[in-house]
Structure 1
Amino acid sequence: MITTSVIVLIALGFTAAAVLAAASKALYVKEDPRIAQVEACLPGANCGGCGLPGCGAAAAAVVAGKAKPDLCVAGGNEIAEAIAKVMGMSVDFSEPEVAELICTGGNRAETIYAYEGIHDCRAEAMLYYGEKSCGLGCIGMGTCVRACPFDALQLDEQNLPVVNKTLCRSCGKCTEVCPTGAIRISGLSANLLHINKTQDCLAPCMQKCPIQVDVRTFVHQLKKGRLASALQTVKSRNPLPLILGRVCPAPCEQICRRNILDSGVAISTLQKFVAEWEMQSGQHVPLDCNPDTGHRVAIVGAGPAGLSCAYFLRRLGHHPVLFDTHAEPGGMLRYAIPEFRLPHHVVEWEIHGILEIGVEYRPFMNFGKDFTLESLAEDGFESVFLATGAWHTPSLDIPGGDGRNVMGSVQFLGEIGVHISSMHEKTVVVVGGTNAAMDTARTVIRLGASRVVVLAEDIQRKMSANKTDIKHATSAGAEIMEQTRPVEFHQDGHGNVVRVDFEQVQYKDEKKASGPILSVPDTLQSVDCDLVVVCLERWPELECFKDAEGNIPFKVSKQGTVEADKATMQTSLPHVFAGGELRLGRSLVMDAVADGRRAARSIHTLLTEGKVRRFSAPPLERVIPESILKGMKVTYSIPRVKEQEIPVDVRKHSMTKEVTLPITLCDAVKEASRCLHCGLTCYDSDAGSEYANDPDVLTFEEIAAQKAAKEAAEAKSAASAKDTAKEACA
């Protein structure tokens, strides 16, 4: 029985073997030898960063045409090229990307409870929404460190992950496990074109900057003496740091958290300092640019908006060409801002830095005459950015406003040194409280004017002019008459204005300095004059955009500006974008630079993705409420750096000498130490501790004690005086 069973089993085994052998011959598929060759090129990490289960599967996908040669995130370009060689293919440029931490809080961020469970960020976030009061804050339990297959992450003493960029392969494993979005994958394009959103870790200064400079990082780099890195950080958002360091009104400083305690960090001064350092070196700091994509973009207008757009497009690898009517690029930076405020050599240096990275400039090109949208398309330009500015000052709608000696600010400032070289013993009336009004007042004083009267509708704090420029104008001798406006210009027989009548005005709500501007009855005054310069609104000149029938091909606002989406700069023509003062009317240089970067972002996505990429989340438009702190506990009070100025008598006789002198490296580093290195809600309470022993540095406790002692002494003195008075009466 047993023998029979054994024989049967053996027979069944032979039968099965025979069937399997036959089946293998019938169904055998020879494996493509390239799979093994491709797999040999791969690092064998089996990390899954490519989305496939191991390197073998990745190799099979490449050979099957289901994946590209650059699928391996662990390998980089060398491995991609090796795979492409096996496959007889070419590799497109792949921009390097690395993990990047956006949270700066660490142990500074307030913890709202003690978590005693599993030490995992995801578990903690799931159970308790994270332990930090800041919703963006890194929880700090190292889940991302454990998830990284390349040992590119480690925790520092604050329990914040530190990225080793040489080891990071941008596989994204860390971002997958991070529950708060505190760590992200980012590269050159993403950094250049990122638009701040409310879910970013933004200090108040970064929220208020239209250009969105990473203030926190660049100031920290300056503090550490890494000036080149600091400048590169600035230039990832601002291509004109030397210029904006001089003309920016610095809204970032006004909202700086240090204002709660003493005074805001001199951010604009520090930006100017690192840019001055570069200029003094004689060489521009190297900037990364992606390889040429072959896409050509026409930019009409070489002012700040056009220069900004060209700069960012070139760094992204595209070929921008600037067209302008002037001999030299710069727009109003070169032709409408006085040299004592913005020296020509500064403008030259900044623009040269943009042109030398590969931006092309074509002078004496008039839109509508020398080229059109149609001719640009025929020449191979795939997109157009219009940034022709607002050069027209409309006439005042008052009697005598058409006088021969009534000029707009741009016309007047543009003729200095060309047709106007002296205002000796002249009386000049300047209308407006704008930056141009202060520039005009300071200019005519330098040209020898005996009297300058500025008529401004607003009180000083409501004027659009920079407060520093207002101070410089008044110190030079300009008479700034607040809450006044002209009502009539009296002309002589030759059509020249010889007298200006003006009146007092007031706000409808005087307490809040808001509401409509109303005339104050019986306040009429007069001033004799030789020249009137109007420095109010400016509007674009749109005649050049009209076709043969007199139509403009895109939408125009009631104010006479080109309508464009405020987030993307796209006009009603999909491939045409507009920004700067052409879109905004009279505005600030920083707004024009911001428009240029946003336009570059939109044009880039149109060229590379076939459509303008909209935002996955709304861009930041208002200050994030939770970031505005009312109470802070900071240890040290460090005096804000004081910029030295040349004497008033010297500046009144020079059209080229800057009023403000550069600060020293020591001053810059000390000022940078005042920065609290803020996050969304956190900050460094011991900022500036390295200067604790300096005689001008006090703790806030010492300041409070001094204040209390002073108040006690004053009270004692007052009591003593009271007693003395009583005795005298007795």
Structure 2
Amino acid sequence: MIEAVLIMLGIGATCGIVLSVASKVFYVWEDPRISQVEYFMAGANCGGCGYAGCSAAANAVVAGKAAPSVCIVAGPEAALEIAGIMGVDPGTAEPLLSHNECLGGHRAADKYYYDGAQTCAALASLHGGRRVCVVGCLGMGDCIRSCKFDAIHMGPDGYPVVDETKCVGCGACETACPKSILTVRTMSQRLLHFNELDDALAPCQQTCPAEINIPQYIDQIRKGDYAGAVNTIRERNPLLLTCGRVCPHPCESYCRRGLEDEAVSINQLKRFVADWEMNSGQRLPIPCAPDTGKKVAVIGGGPAGVSCAYFLRRLGHTVSIFEAMPRLGGITRYGIPEYRLPDQVLDWEIQGILDLGVEAYTNHILGRDFTIQSLREEGYEAIFLGIGAWKDYALGVPGEDLKGCWKGIEFLSKVAGAPDKKVPVGKRAAVVGGGNSAIDCVRTLLRLGVEEVYIVYRRTRKEMPANEVEIVAAEHEGVKFQFLAAPVRVIGDDNGHVTGLEYLTMELGEPDASGRRRPVPVEGSETVLPVDMLITAIGQQPEIDFLEKEAEKDNLAITRWNTFDNDPELLQTSLPYVFTGGDAATGPSLVVDAIGGGRRAARSIHQYLTGEEIKTSPKSLLKKHIPESLFKTVPGVIKKPRTPMPELPVADRITSMVEVDLVISEKDAVHESHRCLHCCRLCYDPEVPETPPEAQVVAQG
């Protein structure tokens, strides 16, 4: 018995020693994070994430092969916990959703018929698919069959429709689609996507500097989903109230309907839904990614600055705006008169951006109250320079500094900042220039009581760069136009006050670099225009005196136009942590250009903050057009009248700063939305049945 016990003990001891040695020799270490990550997964082992169960998914997360949001069942809360375990940017924890940008379906023509192929994959292998459109949906439903969550169905127009309430972002549909029509992206990825050559884009969307999905929001208006339309616009443009009032809508110049009829009034539809939200008594919620802990300083509270701040905040970053003026808005507040953009409208719009958690510091002047270097010392990891172009060009003629002489932006800013919107004016005034600022000046002068107002321009009306609708409005209000007139000197009295503007009559010669015919003076044609007030509005450039106090001023490259030298795709300056946009990057341009620049800069700043390579897609469009999407004719269009812009009668508007252009009615918005051909890259609807207004359902969102 004793011997047996001893033998058993010996065997046990031997086994223990062997196992102890084996554990050292064959030891396999498992990262403790794997079990922690797996704990926060659903435990369903459904395979919807693409991995063979939750354990495999957890291993993939720890190995860096999957995002914290890999589990499609557990939800965003679990993804945040997993992001915390991994110590990664919690922004990667955003939920994924599938999106279909192709709205063509069966509208695209077939280039061949083949009954033997009943799947998109099979069709795509035959000469790229049967559809004429190279990126268009083939319509055989591979994506629908791949979805295990019943989140995709074939719509009535022959293309797949995603139900976002059921979509879990597993990516099966994206994998199944041979044309990459369906893309699975997070909110941040959608915000950061820019137009590319392979995208399904209508010509109007390609033209829009903010890259708004115009056909989609017009379709939502047509269906009565006004909240959806607002959200579609806001994914690209946070200043839809502003743009609805001041944008010259370059998109409409590429509207396909305009080839056979009048273009759709795209901007009026944008204003309609923007005003609908403002007047509804509620703000639609704007989601933001989880906080990243990264700090960004935005210098300049104009359209570029507030747009950049908006997109950065939605991407999860902490943003502070530093503005030199008493209130945010930049040129939209201090350069655009109230009769075009009321202060209360701008206030409402900007407040919505601040409510996302953006801090604003007004009356903070760069170079006086702070520097770029001091912001860096305060922990701001990136800087956006959106300081605008506030320095007016001078005429360069004798006498332009006499009393009664103003510069354009100087005058408009003075009026905007006055408590009663009034400044002292004369009886006869001339404004030199032909752009939008010049028109704003003359129309403002009329409202301030000037009896006779002139535009003095060295070319003809045809060459004026101002918006046509603004020129027409000025004509209706009684502004007089002195064309082919080039100022040569300003005449003053003994008290140093302006009494007249001397100009030379011009004639147009050969076109210059801008494509416009160059004005040539007519010898001996000197003429004096009697005035007691003169405003010069011939252009602006950025004010860059602040650089004198910057430690790295020699490393910040400046162009000969006083703009910050930058890559137009990336908007990164020669200082890697400094980015720019708006007029400070491009020179004076459209408000919508500044908004687009703000978003483009936000993407580059996001890449910089997250350690990614700052780059754009090699297929980026950047204001170019997809050649095959541009038509010469659009058969099947039945002409319908374009909705006119409602406006106050001249007699009711000329004596005050009351808003001139009004919002269209719901009935007119429905009519105008049905004029849209619902275009995509090649597809369009030549005629869309119009639903009676009483059948429209207004979605509250």
Q: TM-score range by the shorter chain?
A: 0.7 to 0.9
**Which residue is 2:348 aligned to?**
349
Distance in 2 separating the partners of 1:381 and 1:63: 30
Tell whether 2:658 aligns with 1:640.
Answer: no
Out of 437-446 and 69-78, give the one that drifted further. Answer: 69-78
**Which residue is 2:291 aligned to?**
292
Return closer, same or farther for 1:637/1:125 CA change in 2, 3 Å cut-off: same
C-alpha displacement of 1:270: 0.9
Task: Tell me the alpha carbon deviations over residues 342-377 of structure 1, each in whole angstroms, 9 at most, x when there is no partner.
Answer: 111111111111111111111221112211122111
Q: Contact (CA 8 Å) 2:382, 2:577: kept in 1 or not?
A: yes
Return closer, same or farther for 1:636/1:691 CA change in 2, 3 Å cut-off: farther
C-alpha displacement of 1:241: 0.9
Distance in 1 separating the partners of 2:97 and 2:615: 22
Return closer, same or farther for 1:208/1:427 CA change in 2, 3 Å cut-off: same
**Which residue is 1:166 aligned to?**
165
Tell whether 2:384 aligns with 1:385.
Answer: yes
1:290-689 aligned within 5 A: 290-416=289-415, 417=418, 421=422, 426-509=427-510, 514-547=516-549, 551-654=553-656, 656-689=657-690
Distance in 2 separating the partners of 1:623 and 1:83: 42
Q: Contact (CA 8 Å) 1:546, 1:553: kept in 2 or not?
A: no
Distance in 2 separating the partners of 1:276 and 1:297: 31
Return closer, same or farther for 1:302/1:635 CA change in 2, 3 Å cut-off: closer
Q: CA RMSD in A?
A: 3.2
Q: TM-score, normalised by structure 2?
A: 0.88
Q: Contact (CA 8 Å) 2:645, 2:661: kept in 1 or not?
A: yes
Return closer, same or farther for 1:489/1:61 CA change in 2, 3 Å cut-off: closer
Q: Contact (CA 8 Å) 1:69, 1:91: kept in 2 or not?
A: no
**Which residue is 1:710 aligned to?**
none
Q: Contact (CA 8 Å) 2:42, 2:74: kept in 1 or not?
A: no
Q: Contact (CA 8 Å) 1:507, 1:513: kept in 2 or not?
A: no
Q: Contact (CA 8 Å) 1:99, 1:172: kept in 2 or not?
A: yes
C-alpha displacement of 1:145: 2.0
Out of 337-346 and 409-418, give the one that drifted further. Answer: 409-418
SS at match of 1:546: helix
Tell whether 2:138 aligns with 1:136.
Answer: no
Task: Tell me the alpha carbon deviations over residues 545-574 of structure 1, each in whole angstroms, 9 at most, x when there is no partner.
Answer: 223789454000011111122111111000
Amino acid at match of 2:490: F
**Which residue is 1:202 aligned to?**
201
**Which residue is 1:16 aligned to?**
none
Out of 458-467 and 246-255, give the one that drifted further. Answer: 458-467
Return closer, same or farther for 1:412/1:66 CA change in 2, 3 Å cut-off: closer
SS at match of 1:414: helix
Task: Tell me the alpha carbon deviations over residues 446-486 of structure 1, each in whole angstroms, 9 at most, x when there is no partner.
Answer: 22222111012343343221111111111111112333322
Q: Contact (CA 8 Å) 1:638, 1:688: kept in 2 or not?
A: no
The structure with the largest alpha-carbon Rg is: 1
C-alpha displacement of 1:124: 1.6
Amino acid at match of 1:174: C
The unaligned stretches of length 5 or more in structure 1 are 1-21, 693-730
Equivalent pairs: percent with the same residue?
A: 39
Distance in 1 separating the partners of 2:493 and 2:608: 58
Distance in 2 separating the partners of 1:509 and 1:109: 45
Q: Contact (CA 8 Å) 1:170, 1:185: kept in 2 or not?
A: yes
Distance in 2 separating the partners of 1:88 and 1:630: 55
Return closer, same or farther for 1:162/1:443 CA change in 2, 3 Å cut-off: same
C-alpha displacement of 1:585: 2.1
Out of 189-198 and 617-626, give the one that drifted further. Answer: 617-626
Distance in 1 separating the partners of 2:529 and 2:356: 52
**Which residue is 1:721 aligned to?**
none
Return closer, same or farther for 1:39/1:530 CA change in 2, 3 Å cut-off: closer
Return closer, same or farther for 1:626/1:374 CA change in 2, 3 Å cut-off: same
Out of 389-398 and 618-627, give the one that drifted further. Answer: 618-627
Amino acid at match of 2:659: E
**Which residue is 1:5 aligned to?**
none
Task: Tell me the alpha carbon deviations over residues 149-181 of structure 1, each in whole angstroms, 9 at most, x when there is no partner.
Answer: 433222223331121223323232322232222
Q: Contact (CA 8 Å) 2:264, 2:672: kept in 1 or not?
A: yes
Distance in 1 separating the partners of 2:79 and 2:551: 55
SS at match of 1:244: helix
Return closer, same or farther for 1:135/1:505 CA change in 2, 3 Å cut-off: farther
Distance in 2 separating the partners of 1:507 and 1:44: 77
Distance in 2 separating the partners of 1:639 and 1:424: 42
Give the length in aligned residue pairs.
666
Distance in 1 separating the partners of 2:267 and 2:450: 32
Return closer, same or farther for 1:112/1:460 CA change in 2, 3 Å cut-off: farther
Distance in 1 separating the partners of 2:558 and 2:237: 29
Task: Tell me the alpha carbon deviations over residues 64-119 of structure 1, each in whole angstroms, 9 at most, x when there is no partner.
Answer: 8986764334543466579899x999994511111111101011111111122221
Task: Tell me the alpha carbon deviations over residues 287-319 of structure 1, each in whole angstroms, 9 at most, x when there is no partner.
Answer: 111122211111111111111111111111111
Amino acid at match of 2:516: S
Distance in 1 separating the partners of 2:569 and 2:637: 41
Distance in 2 separating the partners of 1:503 and 1:125: 67
Task: Tell me the alpha carbon deviations over residues 413-450 of structure 1, each in whole angstroms, 9 at most, x when there is no partner.
Answer: 12224698466761111111111111111111122222
SS at match of 1:231: helix
Return closer, same or farther for 1:134/1:651 CA change in 2, 3 Å cut-off: same
Task: Tell me the alpha carbon deviations over residues 182-222 of structure 1, each in whole angstroms, 9 at most, x when there is no partner.
Answer: 11112211222221112111111111110111111111111
Amino acid at match of 1:546: E
